[in-house]
Structure 1
Amino acid sequence: MAATPSVPELRRTRFARRLPVTLSELAGPAHGHVDLPLHLAWSGLTRFDLDQPRLRMSYYRIVLAEGQHDDLVRYLNHERLTAMWPVLRTLISRDIRDVWENAHAELKPGARAAA
């Protein structure tokens, strides 16, 4: 009989299923105002100015935590995500961080220095 997966394993599997295959799939906006749908921004702000660093960070945290695959590729921007990742990774859950870094080596700490 197979062992029952732990709660952290189940959470990580849920996040891993949503991931894009490559970061280049992330074709979301880099600037301007974006209105997130209620299935993503169900509590608090729904409109974000991506040119404001704090609002941009909140926007990325919400999309990473709540977004399905189609949301991730629609609302996240590859260049913005990789530029923000060193700080963003400290503001998101360990499960999300680990899943993204395991799937996309360029997000792992030290990856930019090695490149």
Structure 2
Amino acid sequence: MASPPNLSELRRAKFARRLPVEFAMLAGPAHGTVSLPVHLAWSGLTEFDLDQPRLRMSCYRIVLAEGLHDDLVRYLNQDLLLTMWPTLRTLISRDLRDVWEGAFAELAPPAQAVA
């Protein structure tokens, strides 16, 4: 009898279902203030100034972790995500990071040189 999926597998499947088909679909704003709906930001800040690095990072962490497909496409900007990814990837869960890096070569860490 097959064992039930573990929590990590379930989380990865959830994140994978929400991904856009292409990285280029991330066409969210690059500047200005973003107001996140309550289903994303139910506690704390709901408005984020994307021109302030800490607020931008907080916004992206929330949208990546809680966003549905349409939220990801609406609120994330592909150029900002690429720029932020080296730091952002250390601030999100391993499951979330692995799903995004596995789906989009643009986010995959560079291959380690073998000496």
Q: TM-score, normalised by structure 1?
A: 0.93
- Name the Cα RMSD after superposition: 1.0
- Indicate the residue corresponding to 1:27 in structure 2: 27
Residue type matched to 1:104 in 2?
F
- Superposed displacement of residue 22, structure 1: 1.1
- Superposed displacement of residue 106, structure 1: 1.3
- Indicate the residue corresponding to 2:59 in structure 1: 59
- Spell out the pairing of 1:90-101 with structure 2 (5 A cutoff): 90-101=90-101
- Superposed displacement of residue 109, structure 1: 1.0
1:35 and 1:10 map into 2 onto residues whose CA distance is 29
Q: Deviations over 1:46-71 (max 9, x none)?
A: 00000000000000000000000000
Structure 1 residue matching 2:106: 3-state secondary structure: helix
1:9 and 1:51 map into 2 onto residues whose CA distance is 35
1:8 and 1:33 map into 2 onto residues whose CA distance is 33
- Spell out the pairing of 1:1-115 with structure 2 (5 A cutoff): 1-110=1-110
How many equivalent pairs are there? 111
Structure 2 residue matching 1:48: 3-state secondary structure: strand
- Superposed displacement of residue 3, structure 1: 3.0
Structure 1 or 2: more helix by fraction? 1
Q: Deviations over 1:70-103 (max 9, x none)?
A: 0000000010001110000000011100000001
Q: Unpaired runs of 5+ in structure 1?
A: none
Q: Which structure 1 residue ranges, 4+ long, deviate > 4 Å from structure 2?
A: none
Q: TM-score, normalised by structure 2?
A: 0.93
2:106 and 2:35 map into 1 onto residues whose CA distance is 28
Q: Deviations over 1:20-59 (max 9, x none)?
A: 1111000100000110000000110000000000000000
Q: Unpaired runs of 5+ in structure 2?
A: none
